[in-house]
Amino acid sequence: MLKLSIKEAMKIGFIGGGRLAFALANGFTSAGLAKPDEITASCHPADVLSADAFKASITHLLVSMFLLKSTLGATALFENKSVVERSEVIIVSVKPDVVGKALREVKDLQASGNKLFISVAMGVSTASIEKMLPSTARVIRVMPNTPALVKEGAAALCRGKLTTDEDVKLATQLFRAVGTCDEVPEYQMDAVTALSGSGPAYIYMMIESLADGGVRCGLPRDLALRLATQTTLGTAAMLKNGGHPAAMKDNVTSPAGSTAEGTYHLEKNGLRAAVIGAVKAAEERCKQVNRELSEKL
Ligand SMILES: NC(=O)C1=CN([C@@H]2O[C@H](COP(=O)(O)OP(=O)(O)OC[C@H]3O[C@@H](n4cnc5c(N)ncnc54)[C@H](OP(=O)(O)O)[C@@H]3O)[C@@H](O)[C@H]2O)C=CC1
Ligand SMILES: O=C(O)[C@@H]1CCC=N1
């Protein structure tokens, strides 16, 4: 079995060079875990597209290649096989419904059998990934999030059937270089996806709403957005130092003051139920994706 060590920069390949791959590649290189010129990423293969889709995709592909090369110094490849052959660790970062197609292309490669595959695909279980790869391939499932781009990511991972402690150590080190990373049992991965994987989208909506509120009260847009962003950052930083959000909220809320009016309005309009419901709905969607995929395998 190929032993990996994170002491030296690793050859990391991405099957699917999209938004998340870009965020992770950027984070890994700036953390010194991979040399930009040793990162490879594959993009949408042109052979399966209609003429019109090909034209649209080639533009998209050229933009992706340009971004990967110019911003990161990484190499964009047309073939998933080349990514596997050229990498020590392969991050599967295509959409869940494309995972099967992409991995079928590399299943028969000899190189696939002794490599570590890290899947970040939402809702796709390690058992499903293992069925799509040679029986000896090692698989880890990770759910990262896009703040990895600024080394403030939150990730959780779980083991597959053949994952070794060293693999977990390596993946943990990789994702801790771009934020936090916890190991969880696989049954919790959909909940993690629904909370921290999707969470940045919910927080952006909250920040945008705060800024809209400020504008409604007469603040200039740029000031409102800066205040909303910094307030979110500062609030999260305080919580990270310890303490309970309810107690911290009470510290902000003066008797008969402005915050009490504001929080009453949020309670009346069901903010908490809406957020809890959003996480639950996102978790359900993960389970649905896994069910649909498992039926096809
Ligand atoms: N975005 C996020 O915040 C997070 C995403 N994830 C997971 O990461 C994965 C990727 O998501 P995201 O980066 O947002 O999606 P993107 O659509 O941005 O990236 C997917 C990439 O894969 C390419 N692709 C499509 N088909 C193939 C193929 N057969 N072989 C190789 N590459 C292919 C796509 O090209 P083209 O566009 O030309 O089709 C695209 O560049 C998903 O499984 C998602 O669940 C996990 C955590 C957070
Ligand atoms: O929306 C999605 O499906 C992916 C998974 C978590 C964040 N983005």
* Domain end call among 189, 211, 228: 189
Binding-site residues for NADPH, in ranges, read 80
Read off the tokens for 137: 């391939």
pLDDT at 90: 97
Per-residue pLDDT of the chain (297 residues; tens, 9 = 90+): 545 555 567 899 999 988 899 889 888 888 888 888 888 988 766 544 344 544 445 455 555 555 666 566 678 787 899 999 999 999 999 999 999 999 999 999 998 899 999 999 999 999 999 999 999 999 999 999 999 989 999 999 999 999 999 999 999 999 999 999 999 999 999 999 999 999 999 999 999 999 999 999 999 999 999 999 999 999 999 999 999 999 999 999 999 999 999 999 999 999 999 999 999 999 999 999 999 998 888
ipTM reported for the complex, 2 dp: 0.98
Other Cβ atoms less than 10 A from the Cβ of 260: the count is: 13
Question: Could you tell me if 56 and 115 lie in one domain?
Answer: yes
pLDDT at 111: 87
Read off the tokens for 136: 């000896």
Strand order in the sheet with 89-92: 75-77, 40-42, 12-15, 89-92, 116-119, 138-143, 153-159, 179-183
Question: Could you tell me if 152 and 182 lie in one domain?
Answer: yes
CA–CA separation, 159 vs 220, rounded Å? 49
Distance 273 CA to ligand 1 centre (A): 31
Distance 205 CA to ligand 2 centre (A): 15
Specify if 1 maps to a domain.
Answer: no
CA–CA separation, 65 vs 117, rounded Å? 23
Question: Could you tell me if 185 and 62 lie in one domain?
Answer: yes
Cα-based distances in Å from 243 to 153, 192, 233, 238, 249: 21, 22, 16, 8, 11
Q: What is the pTM of this model?
A: 0.91
Structural domain of 215: 199-277
- Domain count within the chain: 2
CA–CA separation, 195 vs 280, rounded Å? 9
Specify if 141 maps to a domain.
Answer: yes
Distance 49 CA to ligand 1 centre (A): 17
Question: Could you tell me if 180 and 203 lie in one domain?
Answer: no
Specify if 287 maps to a domain.
Answer: no
Ligand nearest to the CA of 143: 1
Transcribe 175-236 into DSSP letters. Answer: HHTTEEEEE--GGGHHHHIIIIITHHHHHHHHHHHHHHHHHHTT--HHHHHHHHHHHHHHHH
Contacts with 87 (C-beta within 8 Å, 6 or more apart), sequence order: 11, 12, 13, 40, 115
Nearest CA to ligand 1 atom 22: 16
Specify if 4 maps to a domain.
Answer: no
